[in-house]
Amino acid sequence: MTLQGTSLIGQQAVTGDQAIIRAIDPSTGEALAPDYPGLDRDAVARACELAGAAFEAYRETSLEARAAFLEAIAAEIEALGEPLIERAMAETGLPRARLEGERGRTCGQLRLFAAVVRAGEWLDVRIDPALPERQPMPRVDLRQRHVALGPVAVFGASNFPLAFSVAGGDTASSLAAGCPVVVKAHSAHPGTSELVGRAVQKAVAGCGLPEGVFSLLFGAGREVGQALVADPRIQAVGFTGSRAGGLALQQTAQNRPQPIPVYAEMSSINPVFLLPEALEARATELAEGFVGSLNMGAGQFCTNPGLVIGVKGEALDAFVAAAGEAVKGSAAQTMLTPGIHAAYADGVGALAGEAREIARGPVGEGPHQCQTALFATRGADFLRDEALQAEVFGASALVVECADLDEMHRVAHHLEGQLTATLQLDDGDLDAARALLPVLERKAGRVLANGWPTGVEVCHAMVHGGPFPATSDARSTSVGSAAIQRFLRPVCYQNLPAGLLPEALQDDNPLKVSRLVDGKRE
Amino acid sequence: MTLQGTSLIGQQAVTGDQAIIRAIDPSTGEALAPDYPGLDRDAVARACELAGAAFEAYRETSLEARAAFLEAIAAEIEALGEPLIERAMAETGLPRARLEGERGRTCGQLRLFAAVVRAGEWLDVRIDPALPERQPMPRVDLRQRHVALGPVAVFGASNFPLAFSVAGGDTASSLAAGCPVVVKAHSAHPGTSELVGRAVQKAVAGCGLPEGVFSLLFGAGREVGQALVADPRIQAVGFTGSRAGGLALQQTAQNRPQPIPVYAEMSSINPVFLLPEALEARATELAEGFVGSLNMGAGQFCTNPGLVIGVKGEALDAFVAAAGEAVKGSAAQTMLTPGIHAAYADGVGALAGEAREIARGPVGEGPHQCQTALFATRGADFLRDEALQAEVFGASALVVECADLDEMHRVAHHLEGQLTATLQLDDGDLDAARALLPVLERKAGRVLANGWPTGVEVCHAMVHGGPFPATSDARSTSVGSAAIQRFLRPVCYQNLPAGLLPEALQDDNPLKVSRLVDGKRE
């Protein structure tokens, strides 16, 4: 497929006439053809109008039809073959294996949501049958299901050009919920976005769905995204990116005549707590595991471990020394964009002014490469200086040396909201872990033991979310099957004649879904 | 129990030193003793500090302990006996039978939430067991449960002095979720609030819970409420009241350094669609049912039917004539407060300027009494004039006479978000109802057939919510067991040693809760 540099509005390819986006190969600094001219506000409105028009039919597609559509998207993405991987490599500087893995994850995610749609747990069916004889008042027949919120605006993320972009987790969960999607492509990987967008477009046509179920918009700057979130047809927003970007969208969403929910995954430094026995027993092993996690994807994961907390002493010194050595041996990696590299350099520079430098990785040979960075500070200083909690997006971490376990506790309490919190612990650390756990549960969406936060399983129990500023809505997850719940709302039906009841709520349970009948699970 | 005019901060009775609230008997216009001096910001902060301090212990009380606490509150409210009903009658002008019924509902609601807590569906337990042999990567062990958000600010509502006030639905569902509650009492019924507050306070002590689990604050004006929502310890807000009030709290919540969710139930005119066959068959009966619903509680229900839509013709004329007669025969009723009565008079006056008056009820003999009001307008005018959708809180309704079913459809499309939408239908109306249903599902949280929207069953399938401006968050309900979900967030535990796992997530399922294991319901 030849890239055409167009947005996709329903089944149409539309060439914008606004400022041009041009992809840059971050490993060479060279621009990649073709140009992607941005759309104007009228084109954004057209996409939203189509999405609005498609909503009624799409939200009531059968579970099977919707699941088949999600599977068709996965098949169409796979059918793109090698050109997708090559274009993504050129646009992101990410290695082949990572992108092949990410493609697998993206398609697996679409197929998981197909299974989720078929299983129907998301309908949250509740039936309270009529009690005509109840005293002092009879009870009417009441039935509840969940329905789709409406068209969703999805913002592609820079750091997952496939799994959190055009057909990524936000898109898959919106479509699964019955919501048409209008994607604002991330300007860092327009070609990858166009390829995947055309795959989705093909699946829409192949499944005979209304064209407005999916559109893909390009736009330099913020205008297209802001217009999209402000459009009255849009009913929810999915976003992964910076804190400033997420908060700006949140503001726009709140200032609409009808405010809408924004699910923004924004900022997390993912603290790792090294408990004393574990640290004593395996400081070097922990240091190596830590730096391996820190360097994954050039540190450009939302769950990158940017903060390590331990009690000062010989064992922590050994950890820091070994981690420093591992950092020095960390090959420079190309970052996603020149802008991200520049922000990383600034962030590391700022940390260098606040904390003690332990080690830097070697200078790379190409442009836009990160030098892994490790800093240390005292617990007391961390508690004093909010700036030490600022996320540095990329392979940079700070070790906090606490005076004792009490100070470690205070550091935990002092943390902002996080996507993850990790405990490294041995059997002898159970009491210390038990004391920390309630604090960590309040700070993070996922608490893990003896692992590293990078690597987010796409499954039913996953929570990729967490208290502000990790996300704008701690009640949700953007990874895993529960992500579908973000795009649903409950509707109750009272005394509806059987002939009017949605299939999910009919007496004989034709969809064979799990139901809560009179409060009891069936 | 003698009323003392105090706020309750934890187990302490605190006399404020700010502007005084004085209850008024709306049936006489006379002030009722005692005075309730408002609190200052420091006192608000103290209540929040106590709530924050209580949170950790309270959120991890056993299911049984928490359920017993909710039941203890119900028992303490019942033990207040006759003085509670008498004070509530004096403060609200509502009749004894209504208040006795409301007390029953309030206590029933607390006991329902006790059962909900014990059943544990709200934990939404999900377990994805480790798959160490999976290729290309093993899967770790992942488990999810829901945990309490944190202390909740609850605002008492004027129109349900028991069921949506100090120990009403928001309080019951917050406490059930494991969240301490700080109530801002509604200034219209301070004595009722103090009595119920002391009952809750007694239950807290009796159950040996930390005192900060419950506080009750008085304050004239908006300062106490705004300070409460802005307090960093508060993590969510429950509110039932006006659109302006709800939006002001929403703004404060969004402007915090850490934004928090606000569940505001605000404004709804609860459209009723009279489908042709039903109207033809039973115009008079429908008119009587309608006016009965309109007059319930002097029209001061959130689900009061303020809009009736039919196709013009003889049958609709007969309905309007019969409804007009019923309105003329509607006894004047005392409204909740002088302010609410004044706003009602203003709203009716504004409607009189925009629409055709059909009938008014008789002038009452006491002060602050509503004269039921019925107006009519053409469908085309309704579509043109947004002002006709403004809620008039009280017994006032507008009949929209549509040219045909198509116009009825356009009227439905044109509506703002609603708590309820009602269909009056006969067998011959099924096709017309089927065509309207998808529109109504998008507009309302509850769709009902052949009933009236007043009367909200407290059960599992209820949705008392709906799209903006009916509520600030269409994803939620404020009545029924699903209301607990507003105050919870998911946490995922990865590879936690068995000894650290919360009870809800342990292998042998000691809480015997329903679980989703590998996506399958167990």
Chosen for mutation from A475, A477, A479, A522 (greatest number of chain B CBs closer than 10 Å) is A475
CB contact under 8 A, B489 and A477: no
pLDDT exceeds 80 at position B336 = yes
Instruction: Give the distance from CA B483 to its chain's centroid.
Output: 10
Find, in chain A, the residue whose alpha carbon is nearest to that of B496: A449
Select which of A48, A302, A370, A402 is catalytic.
Answer: A302
User: Nearest Cβ partner of B474 from A119, A254, A489?
Assistant: A489
> What is the pLDDT at residue A142?
98
Longest CA pairwise span in chain B (Å): 82
Cα of B5 to nearest chain A Cα, Å: 36
> What is the pLDDT at residue A1?
72
Find, in chain B, the residue whose alpha carbon is nearest to that of A436: B500
Select which of A265, A391, A401, A407 is catalytic.
Answer: A265
User: Nearest Cβ partner of B449 from A463, A476, A496?
Assistant: A496
CB contact under 8 A, A438 and B60: yes
Length of chain A: 522
Cα of B446 to nearest chain A Cα, Å: 4
Select which of B107, B302, B370, B402 is catalytic.
Answer: B302
CB contact under 8 A, B496 and A449: yes
> What is the pLDDT at residue B517?
97
User: Nearest Cβ partner of B500 from A60, A430, A493?
Assistant: A430
User: Nearest Cβ partner of A441 from B142, B441, B491?
Assistant: B491
Q: Which residues of B touch A127 (CB under 8 A)?
A: 461
At residue B501, what are phi and psi to the nearest 5 degrees?
A: -70, 135
CB contact under 8 A, B497 and A463: no
The amino acid at A474:
A
CB contact under 8 A, A144 and B467: no
* Integer Cα distance of A252 and A230 in angstroms: 6
Find, in chain B, the residue whose alpha carbon is nearest to that of A439: B56
Sheet architecture: strand order including A418-424: A356-360, A373-378, A396-402, A307-311, A271-274, A418-424, A444-449, B488-494, B142-148, B125-128, B515-517, B520-521
Contact partners, residue A174, CB within 8 Å, separation at least 6: A152, A154, A180, A181, A236, A238, A487
CB contact under 8 A, B491 and A446: yes
Find, in chain A, the residue whose alpha carbon is nearest to that of B58: A438
What is this model's ipTM?
0.97
The amino acid at B335:
M
Report in angstroms the alpha-carbon separations of A440 from A292, A379, A436, B148, B261: 23, 17, 6, 13, 21
B137-187 per-position pLDDT tens digit: 999 999 999 999 999 999 999 999 999 999 999 999 999 999 999 999 999
CB contact under 8 A, B444 and A491: yes
Chosen for mutation from A277, A485, A489, A492 (greatest number of chain B CBs closer than 10 Å) is A492
**SS3 sequence, A65-132?**
HHHHHHHHHHHHHHHCCHHHHHHHHHHHCCCHHHHHHHHHHHHHHHHHHHHHHHHCHHHCEEEECCEC
Secondary element (H or E) of residue B421: strand B418-424
* Integer Cα distance of A518 and A135 in angstroms: 17
Domains in chain B with CATH codes: 22-266+474-486 (3.40.605.10), 271-449 (3.40.309.10)
Closest to A358 (Cα-Cα) out of A442, A443, A429, A287: A287
Q: For this structure, is B302 an active site residue?
A: yes
> What is the pLDDT at residue A136?
87
Cα of B72 to nearest chain A Cα, Å: 22
CB contact under 8 A, B514 and A494: no
Q: Which residues of A touch B442 (CB under 8 A)?
A: 147, 150
Secondary element (H or E) of residue A506: none
pLDDT exceeds 80 at position B492 = yes
Token couple for B69: 């606490």
Q: Which residues of A touch B116 (CB under 8 A)?
A: 519
Cα of A43 to nearest chain B Cα, Å: 24
CB contact under 8 A, A460 and B516: yes
Select which of B91, B194, B211, B265 is catalytic.
Answer: B265
* Integer Cα distance of A363 and A349 in angstroms: 15
CB contact under 8 A, A147 and B492: no
Find, in chain B, the residue whose alpha carbon is nearest to that of A141: B461
Sheet architecture: strand order including A520-521: A520-521, A515-517, A125-128, A142-148, A488-494, B444-449, B418-424, B271-274, B307-311, B396-402, B373-378, B356-360
Find, in chain B, the residue whose alpha carbon is nearest to that of A460: B519
A vs B, Cβ pairs < 8 A, gives 215
At residue A309, what are phi and psi to the nearest 5 degrees?
A: -125, 125
Q: Which residues of A touch B514 (CB under 8 A)?
A: 521
Averaged pLDDT of chain B = 97
B375-397 per-position pLDDT tens digit: 999 999 999 999 999 999 999 99
Tell me the pLDDT of chain A (522 aa) as tens digits. Answer: 799 999 999 999 999 999 999 999 999 999 999 999 999 999 999 999 999 999 999 999 999 999 999 999 999 999 999 999 999 999 999 999 999 999 999 999 999 999 999 999 999 999 999 999 999 899 999 999 999 999 999 999 999 999 999 999 999 999 999 999 999 999 999 999 999 999 999 999 999 999 999 999 999 999 999 999 999 999 999 999 999 999 999 999 999 999 999 999 999 999 999 999 999 999 999 999 999 999 999 999 999 999 999 999 999 999 999 999 999 999 999 999 999 999 999 999 999 999 999 999 999 999 999 999 999 999 999 999 999 999 999 999 999 999 999 999 999 999 999 999 999 999 999 999 999 999 999 999 999 999 999 999 999 999 999 999 999 999 999 999 999 999 999 999 999 999 999 999 999 999 999 999 999 999
At residue B402, what are phi and psi to the nearest 5 degrees?
A: -90, 150
Cα of B34 to nearest chain A Cα, Å: 36
CB contact under 8 A, B463 and A430: no
> What is the pLDDT at residue B136?
87
User: Nearest Cβ partner of A459 from B128, B447, B462?
Assistant: B128
- Mean of the pLDDT values across residues B246-255? 96
- Mean of the pLDDT values across residues B488-511? 97
Q: For this structure, is A302 an active site residue?
A: yes
Q: Which residues of A touch B149 (CB under 8 A)?
A: 474-475
CB contact under 8 A, B519 and A116: yes
Instruction: Give the distance from CA A464 to its chain's centroid.
Output: 7
CB contact under 8 A, B462 and A259: no
Cα of A23 to nearest chain B Cα, Å: 32
CB contact under 8 A, B491 and A438: no
User: Nearest Cβ partner of A489 from B451, B475, B500?
Assistant: B475
Burial status of residue B503 (CB atoms within 10 A of its CB: 0-12, 13-18, 19 or more): middle
> Which pairing describes strands A181-184 and A152-155: parallel, antiparallel, or unpaired?
parallel
Tokens 């756990």 — which residue?
A437
* Buried b or exposed e, range A407-437, using 16+ CB within 10 angstroms: bbbbbbeebbbbbbbbbbbbeebeebbeebb
Cα of A483 to nearest chain B Cα, Å: 11
* Integer Cα distance of A268 and A155 in angstroms: 19
> Which pairing describes strands A125-128 and A181-184: parallel, antiparallel, or unpaired?
unpaired
CB contact under 8 A, B519 and A144: no
> What is the pLDDT at residue B1?
72
The amino acid at A181:
V
